[in-house]
Amino acid sequence: MTDKETRPNPDELLARVKAEEAEKKRGKLKIFLGYAAGVGKTYAMLESVRQRMAEMDVVVALVETHGRTETEALLKGLEIMPRRAIEYRGVTLTEMDIDAVLARHPKLAIVDELAHTNAPGSRHPKRHQDVEELLDAGIDVYTTLNVQHVESLRNVVAQITGVWIRETIPDTVLDTASEVELVDLPPDELLQRLRDGKVYVTEQVGRAVDEFFRKGNLTALRELSMRTAAGRVDEQVRAYMDQHAIRGPWPTAERILVCIGPGQEGAGLIRVSRRLATQLGGEWFAIHVETTDDLRLNREKQDRISNNLHLAERMGAVVISLRGDSIARTIADYAVKNHITEVVIARSRRHLARMLRPSIADQLLQMTDSFDVHIVSGMTPEPAPVLREPGTYRSRYYHYLQALGITALVTLIDLGLRQWAFDTPVLTDIYIIGVVISAVYLGMGPSILCSVASVLTLDFIFIRPYFTFATEDLQYTFTLFALLAVGIVISYSRPNYSNRPTRQDATNGK
C-alpha cells in the first residue's frame, strides 16, 4: 500500500475537526440500557451519579422511583429540581421543568425514562426532545431506556412478545450517545422481583407476567439488548479509528438500499434495513420509485409511502424519490451507479394480475450481479386505527347510480338517433362514449356496471331480434365484449387525481 493510499483525505480531516469542535460544545449523553422494566436501570444510574457527586455539579431533573425504597434512598443528598405541573382534562400531571434546568445549567442532569411521552401542553411532545435541548445547551445527561423502545426494533419486539410498543425513540438518539451502559439481570431474578412486588404494584403483577413478562420473552429481549449494546460499542470503535485515521483490517464500504412501496410492510422493512446497516457498519438509503401506477393509488396508500419515507429519514437513511417506467430497472440503475452492495425488498404478494410477470425481486436478481438482494417476509405490520371518511360508502353507491344514469341517458340519445335512421355501429359508439366517461370519472366498479348495462341495453333494444338478448350476427357478440373491455381497461388506467399529496424529489445522496 502506498503512502498516498494511507494518507488521510484533507477534506475528511477538516470535517472531523469541525465535528469535534461542535461536539466539545455539546453535552454528552449516557444511556443506561435494559431489556425490561425492573432490571435496575434507574438504580444503576443513580449509583453511578453518587460516585461522581464530589467531582461535578449534578441535579436530578426527573427520576421515577415507582415507590421503590432502595431507589429513593439513592436520591438523598442530591439536588432535586421541582417539576412543572400541567393541567389536562381536570387532572394535574407533572413533567420535567426544562426551563428551570436550563436556568440552573448544571454540569450533569439526570433524566429518567427517555422514551416517555410528555403531557399535552409541554414544550416538546417527547422527553428525548427535552434531553436534546439540554445537550445542545452543553449539559451532560444521564438517562434510562429499555431496548423495546428503540424505533428500528419495534417489529422484532412485536414478534417476540406479541405487544406493539407505542412509545419509541429514533435510532439517531441512540447513535449520538457518548456511552451506552448495559444494565443486566437474569430473567429468573426479574420474575422473582415481579412476584415480590418490586416492579409493579401487586394487582398488576399477574397480568404483566402472563402477557409480557414470560421467561422466553425476557430471554429474547435480554439477548436483543446485549446485541444492541455490543453494536454500539463496535460503532464507537470504528468512529475512533476514523477520527484518528487508523486503517482497520475490515472494509467499511457496505451500502444498503431499501425499496419502499405502498404496502403495509414498509415500516417493518425500514427497521430491518436499519438493523442490517448497523450490523454491517454501512450507509443506508431508502428509495421509492414513482410510476404511472402511483396515480391510481388511493389517499391511504399515498400517505403510507410518504410516512414511511419520513420514518426512514428520521432513522438516518438518505431518502431518494425517483420516477421511472420500470421499478426494478430504476432501482437496479440507481444501485449500480451509487455502488449499493445490499438491496432490501419485501416479498411480493402474488395477486392474480401479477401471476404472469416476475416479481420486482426476481427482476432485480436477473438484471445484475453487482449487489445482493435480501427478500424480507413475515414482518408484523404496524396496527393502525380504521378511519372512515364521512360519506365514503354513500359516495361509492352514488357513483354506481351515476353509472346507471349515464347508461339511461345514452339509451335515450340512441333512441333519438335511431329515428334519424342511424345504424347500429353509430349507436354502439355512443355507448362507448358513455362507458369512457364512467371509467374516467367514476372508477372501475361503476364503469364495469356501465359496460354491462350498456351491453345488455344495446342488445335488448337495438340489435335484432329486438327485445331479446339473442343476436343474429356473430360480429355483434364481439362488439359487446369489446364494449365491456373498454370500460375495464380505461378504468384501470385512470389516474387518481383527488387529494394527491405532493412530495419533493430527494437527491441521490452520493
Sign of the CA dihedral running 411, 416, 418, 423: negative
CA dist 438 and 454 (Å) reads: 11
Residue 13 pLDDT: 62
Lowest mean pLDDT among 130-134, 270-274, 358-362: 358-362
| Band (431; pLDDT cuts 50, 70, 90) | confident
**Residue 127: inside a domain:** yes
Model confidence pLDDT, tens digit, residues 227-269: 888 776 656 555 555 555 554 444 445 789 999 988 878 888 8
Strand partners for 29: 141
* Domain assignment of residue 280, yes or no: yes
- Is residue 507, in this structure, part of any structural domain at all? no
Q: What is the length of the chain? A: 510
For residue 80, give the H/E element and its range: strand 79-80
b/e sequence 117-136, b meaning 16+ C-beta within 10 Å:
ebbeebeeebbbebbbebbe
Cα–Cα distance measured from residue 68 to residue 159, given in angstroms and rounded to the nearest whole number: 31
Classify residue 398 by its DSSP letter: H
Residues 234 and 265 in one domain: no
Does the pLDDT value for residue 206 go beyond 60?
Answer: no
Tell whether 318 and 403 lie within a shared domain. no
Residue 475 burial (CB < 10 Å; 0-12/13-18/19+)?
exposed
Give the dihedral of Cα atoms 269, 291, 333, 279; nearest 10 deg. -10
* pLDDT at residue 441, rounded to an integer: 77
One domain, residues 287 and 209: no
Q: Which of 404, 481, 387, 499 is nearest to 442 (CA)?
A: 404
202 found inside a domain: yes
Structural domain includes residue 86: yes
Residue 505 lies in a domain: no
As given in the structure block, the three cell numbers for residue 81 are: 429540581
Report how far apart, in Å, the C-alpha atoms of 205 and of each of 184, 188, 214 are. Answer: 21, 15, 12
Place of cell 461535578: 56
CA distances from 73 to 46, 55, 288 (A): 10, 21, 53
Up-side HSE of residue 320: CA atoms within 13 Å toward CB?
22
Q: Which of these three, 221, 243, 265, is where a domain ends? A: 243
Same domain, 239 and 265: no
Residue entry with cell 353509472: 403
What CATH number does the domain containing 321 carry? 3.40.50.620
Number of folded domains in the chain?
3
Spatial separation of the C-alpha atoms in residues 277 and 269, rounded to whole Å: 12
For residue 201, report the phi and psi dihedrals to the nearest 5 degrees. Answer: -65, 160
Distance CA(277)–CA(271), nearest Å, equals: 10
Tell me: do 100 and 214 sit in the same domain: yes
What's residue 209's pLDDT? Answer: 58
- Residue 505's nearest CA partner among 270, 306, 317, 364 is 306
Same domain, 165 and 273: no
Whether 229 is in a domain gets the answer: yes
Residue 415's pLDDT is: 85
Q: Give the H or E element holding residue 490.
A: helix 474-493
Look at residues 500, 505, 171, 502 and name the one whose alpha carbon lies nearest to residue 334: 505
Q: Strand ranges (DSSP E) for 248-360?
A: 255-259, 283-290, 318-323, 342-346
Range of the domain at 275: 255-346+372-376
What torsion, rounded to 10 degrees, do the Cα atoms 208, 212, 213, 219 define? Answer: -170
438 and 297 within one domain = no
My answer on whether 484 and 335 are in the same domain is no
In a 13 Å sphere around the CA of 6, the CA atoms on its Cβ side amount to: 7
Establish if 15 belongs to a structural domain. no
The pLDDT-based confidence of 3 (bands split at 50, 70, 90) is: very low
Does the structure show a pLDDT above 60 at 310?
yes
Q: Are residues 198 and 58 in the same domain?
A: yes
Residues 72 and 199 reside in one and the same domain: yes
Q: Amino acid identity of 442?
A: L
- pLDDT, tens digit, for every residue of 461-495? 887 777 777 766 666 667 667 777 776 676 655 54
Q: Which residue matches cell numbers 461522581?
A: 52
pLDDT single digits (tens) 108-143: 999 999 999 999 989 999 999 999 999 999 999 999
List the CATH number of the domain containing 109.
3.40.50.300
Let me know: does 166 contact 148? Beta carbons within 8 Å. Answer: no
Domain check: are 417 and 338 in the same one?
Answer: no
What are the two backbone dihedrals, phi and then psi, of residue 200, each rounded to the nearest 5 degrees? -120, 165
pLDDT tens digits, 33-85: 999 988 999 999 999 998 888 888 999 999 988 888 888 899 998 999 999 99
Residue 114 shares a structural domain with residue 219: yes
Task: Render pLDDT for 319-337 as a digit per residue (tens, 0 to 9).
Answer: 988 888 888 899 999 888 8
